[in-house]
Structure 1
Amino acid sequence: MSTQLAQREMRRFLSTREPEVLSISGRWGVGKTFGWRAALDKARASGTLPMERYAYASAFGLKNIDDLKTAIFQATVRLDAPSIEPSLNSFRENLSSLDGLANIGERSGRRIAKLAGRLVSLIPYGDKAADLILPGAALLIRNQIVCIDDIERTGAGLDVSDILGFVSMLREEKRCKVVLLLNEEGLGADHKIFRTYLEKVVDQAIDYKPTAKESAAAALDLKDPTEAILAKKIEQLGITNIRVITRIKRFLRHLVPALSALHPDVTKQAVSSTALLGWCVFEPALAPKLDYVKSLNDYSSMFGREDPSEEETRWNAVLSTYGYTSTDELDHAILAGLLTGGFDMDVIAREATRLHEQIGKVEVRAGIRKPWDILGDSFEPDDAALKDALVASVTHFSSDMSAQGLDEVMTMLRDLGDSLAADAMLPIYMEARKDEPREFFNLARQMTNRPVDTAIVEAFQSRLDAEPLTRDPKAILLKIDRDKCWNQEDTDFLSSMSEDDYYRVLRQGRGEELRSVIRAGLLFGQFQNPEPRYVEISGRMKAALRRIGKENPLNAMRVKPYIGREPVTEAEPPEVYQNSETGAD
C-alpha cells in the first residue's frame, strides 16, 4: 500500500473511539514510524482525535511483558499538550491524574493508591519509582491510543504471542486503540506465530509500501535545487528506504558545495553517482552489486556480458534506464568517501576539475564519444568507419582519455579482428601521457575488478617500476598503523609500489617500526569486499614477506606470525638490495 493510501487508513483509524488494532508492516527504513507520526500530528492539529491520551513504546530489547507495560505507562501523554514527547512532567501528571488515582483505587484498593502517592515523591529516583510502578502500570493504561513499535526486535524472553495477547486485552478490556509497527520479514521463526494471532487480534493489517517518489518527498526538501535533483534520481532507482535516502543526502551536503564553481554538469553527475553508489553501499540486499557497477564501461554497457545471469539482466535494465554507463575517476573518489565515511576533498577537487575541463572541450568529448555513437546508432555495415573513429580517438585525444577509455578502444579493435591496430594504440597513448606523475600509471587506483588488456597492464607496470618513489612509504605505513586512518592519496601511492619496493622497506626496518610497517600493510587484507587498491597493498606486503621467509629458516620463523609457515627454499636477496647487516635477519 502506498503512503497516500496508508495515510488514509490511519486517519480513518484515528477518527473513532471504537477499540481496534491496526497493524502496519513494512521493510526497515521505509518510514512506517514517520508515516504514523505524520497522521497523528495531522489529527492533533485538526482537533479531531476522539481520545485524550497517547503512548508510543518500542519493544526493542524488552525482555518481558511487564517491561512493555511499564514502558507504555511511562510514555503516556495528553494529546492536547504542546508536545507529545514523554517528559518528567508528563509522567508526574499522568501518575497523579484523577483518572489514574480513580483507576488505581477501583482496581487495587487503598494499598496501591498509597503507593501511587509515594511514587510522585519518588519521581527523581528512577530505579525506586520503576519498582513501585510495575504493580499498577497496566491498570492505568485504558481509554487511550497505544503505538507499539519494533515488535520484531524484542529481547530474549518477550515473545510475539505475549505481545499480541496483551494487545488483545488492551482492546477488549481497556477500550484502547492499538497500532503495531513492525517488519514481518524480521520476525524470523516468530513469523508463523504472528500470522496465526493476526487473524484473532488485528482488525486491519496494512502492508506499507511507499513509492520511491513518496519516500523522496518525505526525506528531502524539494525546494532545495540539489535535493530536487536527488529526488528524481531516487525515483528513477526506485529507492524507498528513507534512512538510505537521508544518508545519501548528508553525504551530498558535504560534497556539492565544493563543486559550486564548476560546470553544472559536474554537480549533476556527482548527485547521480552518489545516489546510485550510495544505494549500493547502504542497501546492498536490494541494489546492484557494487563490484558489478564499478566494472561498468561504455563497451560493457552497450553489449553487456556473455551469458548474464537473471540478476545481472535486471541490473542492466535499471542502470540503462538510469543512464549510468561507466564509472569514471570522480565516481571512484565519491565511492571511496561513501565506503570510508568521508570524502578526500583534495581528490574530489582534482577529479571534478578534470571533468569540468573535459566538459568544456566540446570537440574532445565528441571525438572520444564518436565510436560509441557509430556503434549504437544503426545496424549498417560501417565497421571501417568505426575502426577509423576508434583510432582517431586515441590519436587525437589521448591526453584527455582515461586508461579505461584506452582499454575500451583496444578491446573493441581486437573484437573487430584488428589486433595490430589495437597494439598500435598503446605507444601513441603512452607518448601522450609521458609527463604524467607516477601515480597516474597505477591501474589499481581506478578501483575496478574488470580485466584490463594485458599490454596496458605491462606498459603501465613498466612505467611504475621505472619511476622513483615520490613519497616515503615507511612514513605512510607508520602513520596508518599509528592513526588507523588514511586517505586516497596514501592508498594510491602504496598500491603503486612493487613487491621489490615493499621488500626494501622491510629489509630496512628494525624493531617496533618494522612490526608497525607490517601491521599497516596487512591491515588492508582484512576488509570484506576490499577495493582493488587494498588487495594490491596487502598482496605485495605478503609477497615481500614470503620472499624474506624463503631466504633461510630463521626468517621463515620470523614471518610465520604474519603469513603462516612457508616452505623454505634457497634464494639470494635481489640485486636491488643487498645488505645482510640490516633488516629482518
Structure 2
Amino acid sequence: MNQAQEQRLEEIFRKNENKEIAIAITGCWGVGKTFFWNNFFKSQTIKEFDTKKDFYYEISKQQYLNVFENKKYAYVSLFGIESLDALKNEIAIKLGWNPYSQYKHAHYGIPQLLKNTLNQFKDIKLSHYGVSSSSRLIESLLFSQVKNAIICFDDFERLSEKLKIQDVMGLANQLKLERNCQVILILDESKNEDENKKKYAEYKEKLIDETIKITSVEPLIRENTKGMDESLVNLMVKFAEELEIHNFRFFQKVIKLYKMFLGGISGKVADSTKNIILIRILQGYLIEDFGGDKKITWDDLTVSASLARRAKKRKEVVDINEVQIFDKLEKVSFYLVNGGDEWQIQFKKWFDQSDKSDFKLLSELAESELISEENNKLILCTRQKKITH
C-alpha cells in the first residue's frame, strides 16, 4: 500500500527541517502518484495539528517544528501552461496557506486583491495605457513572495511543446536554491518525449535530491471500493499485483460495471455469485485492454482450454512463456481460467457487442435459489475434480 514510500517521504521532510530540497515522485501512468502525494500531505498536516493540540502551553505550540501544517503551498498542473512567465504567474496565484491546515491564519501571505488583479490583466497585451507594464509589475511583486513554501509540479507528461522541460526544471532549481522552497515533481520518467527525457536526465542529477517511486495501485483501488466486500477488493488487488496492471483506469472500469450490474439486482446475492460476477468483468476488460498483447481470448479462459494446457504441460510440448500468464490468473482465482458458464457467455456478448447480452438473464441467475452458496461450491468442486483428474 505504498506505506514504505510514505514513511520514507516523511523521513526526508523531517530530516531536512524546512530546508530547500527537490523530491521526484515517479511511477507509471495511472498508478496514483498525485493521489499518493495529496493523501500524504493531508495526513501529515492533520497529524501535526493533532500533536500540537495536546500541548498545554501556547509557547510549546509555537516552538513545535511545523514541517507541513503551517506552510505556504502551491499545487501547479503544467497542463495548458505555454510559457515560463505563465508558469511563474500560476505559482504566484496558486500560492496560499496549506489547504488542509486546521488553523485560521491571521494573514494570507499574498493579498488576494493582487491575485485577482493579475488574473484580470494576465491576458491583456501591450496598450497605450500601460496596462501590460502594470501587469508585469504585479507579476514581479507576486512572484517575489514565493519563498519558504512547498511547491508541487504535476502533469509533466502533458507539458506543452511551447514550454521546455529545462525551463521548468530550471525554475524548480531557482525556487529550491534561491527561495528556500521544498519542490515536489510528480512525473512518469518513462513517458517524456526523447528530447525531454535527455533534458530531464541532465537536470535530474543537479536538481533532484530524493526520488520516491510509486509501484502499487492498491491505495486507489481501496479508496474507490468503500462499501464493497473486502474479499472482492482483495481479489482486485491481487489481480493487479499478479498481472502487473498498475493503471487505475483499468480498475475504474471494472468497479463501475460491477456496481452498475449489482445495482440492478434486488434481494440478497450470494457472496460466491458476487465473486464470479467480478471475475467475469475482470476477464472482459483484461481481454479488451490487453488481449492483443498478452494473446488471450475468451476461449482461452474455459475449462476445456485449461485441460488442454495441462495436457500439453504433462507432455512438455508447451512454451512456458505462453502458459505463464494463465498460471498467474489461476493463482488469483481458479474461476479466472476455468470459465464457460452462462455468466461468461453473457458477459462475453456484452464486451464483444456481437449479440445482445441478456442482463435480465444474469440478474435472474444472481437472484435464483439455484445460484446459492451451496450450489456454487458444488459447481466449483466439480470443476476442480475435472481439472485435477
Question: TM class, shorter-chain normalised?
Answer: 0.7 to 0.9
1:400 corresponding residue in structure 2: none
Q: CA deviation at 1:375?
A: 5.6
Residue 97 of structure 2 corresponds to residue 96 of structure 1:
no
Q: 1:248 aligns with which of 254, 257, 263?
A: 254
Task: Write the mapping of 1:336-415 to structure 2, written as runs, cut at 5 A.
Answer: 337=350, 347-354=358-365, 356=368, 359=371, 373-374=385-386, 376-377=388-389
The residue type paired with residue 195 of structure 1 is A
Query: Match for 2:83 among 52, 56, 64?
Result: 64
User: Contact 1:266 / 1:352 at 8 angstroms: preserved in 2?
Assistant: no
Post-superposition Cα deviations, 1:23-43, rounded to whole Å, max 9, x if no partner, equal: 010011111111111111122
Equivalent residue letter for 2:111:
S
2:52 aligns with: none
Identify if the C-alpha distance between structure 1 residues 157 and 122 changes in structure 2 by more than 3 Å, giving closer, same or farther: closer
Structure-1 residue corresponding to 2:282: 275
Cα deviation 1:462-483 (Å, max 9, x = unaligned): xxxxxxxxxxxxxxxxxxxxxx
CA contact (8 A) 2:303 2:340 kept: no
Gaps of 5+ in 2: 50-65, 126-130
Q: For residues 83-110 of structure 1, what are the alpha-carbon distances to aligned partners after superposition, in whole Å with 9 as ceiling and x for unaligned?
A: 99xxxxx9x955427xxxxxxxxxxxxx
Q: Is the alpha carbon distance of 1:242 and 1:83 closer, same or farther for their aligned partners in structure 2, counting shifts above 3 Å? A: farther
Paired residue for 1:150?
A: 155
Query: Displacement of 1:59 after TM fit?
Result: 1.0
Q: Report the alpha carbon displacement of residue 76 of structure 1 after superposing the two structures with TM.
A: 1.1
Task: Give distance in 1, aligned partners of 2:372 and 2:229.
Answer: 25
Q: How many residues align?
A: 342
Match of 1:49 in 2: 67
Shift of 1:204: 0.3
Pair 1:73 & 2:92 matched: yes
Classify the secondary structure of the residue corresponding to 2:185: strand
- Cα distance in 2 for residues equivalent to 1:217 and 1:364: 27
Equivalent in the alignment of 1:481: none
Computed over aligned residues only, the root mean square deviation of the Cα atoms, in angstroms, reads 3.9
Shift of 1:285: 8.5
What is the distance in 2 between the residues matched to 1:271 and 1:122?
Answer: 51
- Letter of the aligned partner of 1:12 in structure 2? E
Asked if residue 333 in structure 1 is aligned to residue 346 in structure 2, the reply is yes
| Alignment partners' CA distance in 1, 2:83 and 2:306 | 54
Give the Cα separation in 2 of the matches to 1:304 and 1:243: 31
Question: Is residue 215–residue 240 contact of structure 1 (8 Å, CA) maintained in 2?
Answer: no
Asked if 2 retains the 8 angstrom alpha-carbon contact of 1:213 and 1:231, the reply is: no
| 1:207 matched to 2:213 | yes
Q: Percent identity?
A: 18
Does the 8 A contact of 1:151 with 1:181 survive in 2? yes
The structure having more radius of gyration, on CA atoms, is 1
1:162–1:240: structure 2 CA closer, same or farther, 3 Å change rule? same
Match of 1:312 in 2: 322
CA distance in structure 1 between the partners assigned to 2:377 and 2:151 by the alignment:
61
1:366-396 CA deviation, whole Å, 9 max, x = no partner? 799868735623xxxxxxxxxxxxxxxxxxx
Whether the aligned pair in 2 keeps the contact of 1:171 and 1:178 (CA below 8 Å) is yes
Give me the TM-score of the superposition, normalised by structure 2: 0.74
Determine which structure has the larger helix proportion and give its number: 1
CA distance in structure 1 between the partners assigned to 2:5 and 2:258 by the alignment: 30
CA apart distance, 1:252: 1.8
TM-score by length of 1: 0.51
Q: What secondary structure, in the 3-state scheme, does the structure 2 residue paired with 1:185 have?
A: coil
The DSSP-based 3-state class of the residue aligned with 1:186 is coil
Gaps in structure 1 of 5+ consecutive residues: 85-89, 98-115, 378-585
- In 1, Cα distance between equivalents of 2:8 and 2:109: 29
Helix, strand or coil for the counterpart of 2:190?
A: helix
CA change 1:199–1:373 in 2 (3 A) is same
Structure of higher RCO (CA pairs closer than 8 Å, 6+ residues apart) = 2
The whole-number CA distance in structure 1 between the counterparts of 2:230 and 2:339 is 24
2:263 counterpart of 1:257: yes
Cα deviation 1:421-452 (Å, max 9, x = unaligned):
xxxxxxxxxxxxxxxxxxxxxxxxxxxxxxxx
CA distance in 1, matches of 2:168, 2:376: 66
Q: Say whether the 8 Å CA contact 2:9–2:212 is kept in structure 1.
A: no
Letter in 2 for 1:200: K
Counterpart of 1:330, as a letter, is W
Taking the aligned partners of 1:249 and 1:231, their CA distance within structure 2 comes to: 10
**Cα shift at 1:53:** 0.6
Q: Distance in 2 between matches of 1:320 and 1:137?
A: 58
2:30 alignment counterpart: 29
Query: Measured at CA, do residues 248 and 195 of structure 1 come closer, stay the same or move farther in structure 2, by a change above 3 Å?
Result: same
1:156–1:261 distance in 2 versus 1, CA, 3 Å: same
Match of residue 231, structure 1, among 230, 233, 247 = 233
